[in-house]
Chain A
Amino acid sequence: MTKFITFILYWLLILPLGMIHRILGLKTLDFSWRNGAITYWERRDNSTATERYRKQV
């Protein structure tokens, strides 16, 4: 069953979504390399621990 779900998930969801993202020029991963940016650091905004720790996302 898991094998079947994995198969469906990949070929009917991951692959088409990945292709659509690429066609639309949307990034799922940042592959930028020597793109002229001054820095690669990304700033973080922290909410309070009580909010964050309860979530799994």
Chain B
Amino acid sequence: MEANTSSSNRKTNILGISAFYHDSAACLVQDGKIVAAAQEERFTRRKHDPNFPREAIAYCLSEAGITKDQIDYVAFYDKPLLKFERILKTFMAYAPKGFQSFSKAIPLWFDSKLFIKRTIEQELGFSVEVLFPEHHESHAMSAFFASPFQEAAVLTLDGVGEWATTSIAVGRGNKLDIISDIRFPHSLGLLYSAFTYYTGFKVNSGEYKVMGLAPYGRPIFKDLIYEHLIDVKEDGSFHLNMEYFDFPIESSMTNPRFHELFGAPPRKPESALTQREMDLARSVQEVTEEVVIKIAKHIRRETGMRNLCLAGGVALNCVANGRLLREGIFDDIWIQPAAGDAGGALGAALGVWYQYLGKPRVADGFNDAMQGSYLGPQFSQQEIQSYLDSEDIPYTVYSSETLYEKVAELLHHEKVIGWFQGRMEFGPRSLGARSIIGDPRSTEMQEKMNLKIKFRESFRPFAPSVLMEKVDEWFELKSPSPYMLLVAPVSKIHQREMSEEQQRLFGIEKLNVVRSDIPAVTHVDYSARVQTVHHATNPEYHKLLSTFEDQYGCPVIVNTSFNVRGEPPVCSPLDAYRCFMRTHMDFLVLGNCILDKSLQKPLANDLDWQKEFELD
């Protein structure tokens, strides 16, 4: 366990890596502190990039001011040979079906996935100790070791890791033990993904859309799901009826028997959405929530813990998270903001520091270790201006005193603004560092942002950022939600009652009803995916919200990720400028510079830019 330290005073550098499935990422933990973390997609501009995170690693090292040879340990987020065993056994179980998938999957394993240690050492250029926590352990450690709790139960739910799809763990101080799990092919994440596929969305990215679509529907297929697809025990454990699914060996997820059960083939991607898809979405969403609640109750009984940490892709289901919080099963819950596979890199690195090296851990009960999840690259004012000058881009520089007043005024005039400040977020959510922002009071804003800015489906809701100090005045939520992972209703005093005629509306017709003082962020069921903004972690964004409230009486703004459909959120000023110019955004704020769209020259030779990004 000796590190490659040349001096006893030098810090211990642990590089965490997740790669080769989806959302590859790197993270650097230095003496237990998270110094940097980023997804590879942000640099390569390829959404969910699964390749070795070469650029993310380079960024992490530069942020820490170290060279490759100063890395002491590399932590890979899963056990490749155990995963390979699962894949072989799966094909054995289904043979002679599945040869096509086998012939696609296996060469990738021979090429790189079976030789992770060798690949890492080749990339780094020297021999290093590479450690392999299990996939769900990495998720669990990303949730517990980064949480504010000294003791907590941990629930991880995702598609599948090596074998586990659902795990329960207990964390105490610097130790975490997985106590029980549910194994492949029985997976709540894959059940949700099967419905994502069946409703015509892309697996591993369209799950958010299913969640967003659910409030338009009725849970009329719920009984069918319980009767035929999932058997749920009182303790929340479950098995799927695999006669209805093809996901172990096919990319099609569901099979003809499933289609017969629901009376139609899967919806064709990009075809018109009907009430049926909305009802399917609502049904699987309710089943998911009910299973999560049952598991949570079981964990509370089994472990006696008062706090719960969550991670894994299913933990990004903020509707289920909000319900879990409201049920009051635990005193408090904390969700890792990079709950998907990218966060595995972080969990693996923290696990080496605490579990492998046995370093002490003291949590204060209030503050987590994520630093607001602002763990990515940042660009100085000088770097921003150098870029703008080099490209001959017109802009105006504002002082720190006047910038916020100007941006608040633009928001008030219903302008859509690209907001680029400080360090980029780690995880799938934009939290006010790389965001597109707007006025939530506008009745036009949701449609404008969806269709003219993001080029995405009109039903998709937008999230509000709200000052932490004012959250309970605007939403039925008292807890912090800094990572936009909790859904809560808009406060009754800000809701607007629907007329009888409006109440009779059905499905997508509900979309255009103004149902609160902040309609752009109020979903059809009066809910909102809330981000609380804290001065301690993002003072610039906090100041913008404070100024908007002081001047216009509203401490809430619309916040959506700074990208277009199919594109990863922007990372650099160049990415931000390109995205700004390709959409109908009105202004771009880069540091203290404001760029007015009406003064910009169109981008040259950029007519085909939409072909750059595969639709998600």
Contacts and interface: CB of A to CB of B under 8 A. Distances in A.
A39 B356 CA distance: 32
Interface in B150-198: 167-168, 177-186
A55 B95 contact: no
Contacts of B451: none
B296 to A, nearest CB: 14
Interface residues of A, number: 39
Interface string B533-551: 0000000000000000000
Interface in A25-50: 27-34, 37-44, 46, 49-50
A29 B241 contact: no
B180 A6 contact: no
Contacts of B94: 18
B412 interface: no
B356 A50 contact: yes
A42 B182 contact: yes
A31 B186 CA distance: 8
Contact of A10 (B103, B168, B185): B103
Interface stretch (B105-113, B431-439, B453-461): B105-113
Contacts of A9: 106
A30 B248 CA distance: 12
Contacts of B167: 44
A12 to B, nearest CB: 11
Contact of B79 (A18, A44, A55): A55
B179 to A, nearest CB: 6
Contacts of A21: 92-93
Interface string B562-595: 0000000000000000000000000000000000
Interface of B: 1, 75, 79-82, 85, 88-96, 99, 102-103, 106-107, 110-111, 116-117, 131-134, 167-168, 177-186, 231, 233, 235, 237-242, 248, 351-352, 355-356
B181 A42 contact: yes
B93 A18 contact: yes
A18 B237 contact: no
Interface of A: 2-3, 5-7, 9-11, 14-15, 17-19, 21, 27-34, 37-44, 46, 49-50, 52-57
B233 A39 contact: yes
Contacts of A54: 131-132
A9 to B, nearest CB: 7
Nearest to B129: A54
A56 B91 contact: no
A3 B107 contact: yes
B133 A42 contact: no
B107 to A, nearest CB: 5
Contacts of B110: 2, 5-6
A6 B185 CA distance: 23
Contact of B81 (A42, A46, A57): A57
B233 A42 contact: no
Top 9 A-B residue pairs of the complex, sorted by shortest distance between their CB atoms: A18-B92, A40-B237, A49-B355, A18-B95, A53-B131, A28-B89, A29-B93, A56-B81, A41-B180
Nearest to A49: B355
A2 B159 CA distance: 28
Nearest to B110: A2
Given A18-B92, A39-B235, A56-B81, A33 B106 contact: no
